[in-house]
């Protein structure tokens, strides 16, 4: 899927800022693609963009209306339908981050077909994929892995890609989850593919490239997560990383969604990910650590980052607090 920009960010009747988390992430990383927002009565989220009607957004050049909000029960109700049908009528594509598929709403499908516009359900994947072949392909790849889900892997990957571009390096962020796909404009929700094709999906989205080009692959889950480790495993094998970055959130008391499970330590996370990465790329190295220190004060954060650097002799950053320059320095040595 290739989602055309610029975007009109549909906020619907989002009950709070958290419900618009995906939209906020898109705005943060692709402000130049987000020309306006459209809210319905009762909306409690705000991206700080100009509020536009469908007609105004169309006149401003919008190609796609983006559903980057969570709603109650995942249902696309009558209040939304009017706006979505108007967007289709104006010739916009719709890109949808909800679990509910646009493709299961006949009224939208018919309207989209009649108008010749596209409906993207980015949390799903229905296309054909190859089984992973494990064959070494040219180009360099770095993959964000984690002690747990939601520890900053996407943010880290985006920060690496931005830093590389700033230095004039050739790089592409490769999205493997819904927010990442909106930000990249393309990608595959790897956790939504049939399990036989996980590594094949990653081989597809991070294909052969120029020898000095970096694919920065967004990670998913964790090899230590009892629900999702299979996804993480396929991602590691499919991306054939030249380098992995270990991501972590230091205040988490248990694995996300699994109260009985403690987080692995950084050493174990590093060793086990590296072992599996070396199956498809024997030269893979750990290029650093990215720690989300949001819950720590500045002194505690700096102390932690310094301690990890000293323990492993590798760069340790918080992408928000310190940037990722020291990790990109390390990657440039590869």
Determine which residue in the list 39, 171, 269, 280 makes contact with a copy of itself, applying CB under 8 A. 280
Q: How far is the CB of 187 from a copy of itself (least distance, A)?
A: 15
CB of 240 to a copy of itself, least distance (A): 9
Residue 131 binds a copy of itself, judged by CB under 8 A = yes
Asked if 182 is part of the footprint of a copy of itself (rule: CB under 8 A), the reply reads: no
Strand duo 140-146 + 243-248: pairing: parallel
| Interface of this chain with a copy of itself, residues 290 to 319, rule: CB under 8 A | none
Nearer to a copy of itself, 83 or 232 (CB): 232
Are the beta carbons of 129 and 203 closer than 8 angstroms? Answer: no
| Element containing residue 286 per DSSP (H, E) | strand 285-291
Where helices occur in 78-149 by DSSP H, the ranges are 78-89, 106-115
Which residue among 26, 183, 223, 327 contacts a copy of itself (CB under 8 A)?
223
The reply to whether 193 sits near a copy of itself by the rule CB under 8 A is yes
Q: How many residues bind a copy of itself (CB under 8 A)?
A: 37
Binding of residue 175 to a copy of itself (CB under 8 A)? no
Question: Binding of a copy of itself at residue 257 (CB under 8 A)?
Answer: yes
| 239 binds a copy of itself, rule: CB under 8 A | no
Cα 212 to Cα 220: distance, rounded to the nearest angstrom = 25
Three-class DSSP category at 216: strand
- Which are the contacts of 163, defined by CB distance < 8 A and separation ≥ 6? 323, 324, 325, 328
* Shortest Cβ 73–a copy of itself spacing (Å): 16
Gap between the Cα atoms of 153 and 220, Å rounded: 7
Whole-angstrom Cα distance, residue 297 to residue 211?
Answer: 41
Footprint of a copy of itself (CB under 8 A): 131-136, 190-196, 198-200, 223-224, 226-234, 237, 257-258, 260-261, 272, 275-276, 279-280
């Amino acid at each position: 899927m290739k989602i055309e920009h610029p975007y009109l960010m549909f906020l619907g009747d989002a009950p709070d800022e958290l419900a618009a988390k995906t939209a906020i992430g898109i705005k943060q990383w692709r402000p130049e693609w987000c020309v306006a927002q459209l809210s319905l009565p009762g909306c409690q989220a705000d991206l700080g963009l100009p509020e536009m009607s469908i007609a105004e957004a169309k006149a401003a050049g919008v190609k796609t209306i983006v559903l980057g909000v969570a709603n109650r029960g995942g249902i696309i109700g009558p209040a939304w339908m009017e706006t979505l049908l108007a967007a289709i009528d104006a010739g916009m594509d719709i890109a949808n981050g909800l679990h509910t598929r646009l493709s299961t709403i006949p009224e939208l499908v018919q309207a989209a077909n009649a108008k010749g516009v596209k409906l993207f359900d980015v949390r799903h994947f229905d296309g054909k994929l190859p089984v992973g072949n494990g064959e070494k392909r040219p180009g360099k790849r770095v993959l964000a892995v984690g002690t747990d889900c939601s520890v900053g892997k996407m943010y880290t990957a985006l920060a690496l890609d931005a830093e590389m571009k700033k230095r004039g390096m050739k790089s592409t962020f490769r999205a493997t989850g819904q927010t990442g796909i909106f930000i990249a404009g393309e990608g595959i929700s790897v956790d939504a593919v049939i399990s036989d094709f996980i590594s094949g999906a990653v081989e597809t989205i991070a294909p052969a490239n120029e020898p000095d080009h970096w694919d920065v692959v967004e990670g998913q889950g964790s090899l230590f997560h009892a629900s999702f480790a299979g996804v993480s495993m396929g991602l590691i094998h499919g991306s054939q990383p030249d380098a992995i970055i270990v991501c972590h959130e230091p205040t988490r008391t248990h694995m996300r969604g699994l109260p009985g499970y403690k987080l692995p330590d950084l050493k174990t996370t590093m060793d086990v990910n590296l072992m599996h990465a070396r199956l498809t790329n024997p030269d893979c190295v750990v290029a650093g650590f990215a720690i989300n220190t949001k819950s720590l004060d500045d002194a505690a954060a700096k102390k932690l980052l310094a301690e990890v650097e000293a323990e492993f002799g590798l760069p340790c950053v918080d992408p928000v607090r310190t940037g990722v320059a020291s990790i990109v320095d390390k990657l440039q040595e590869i």
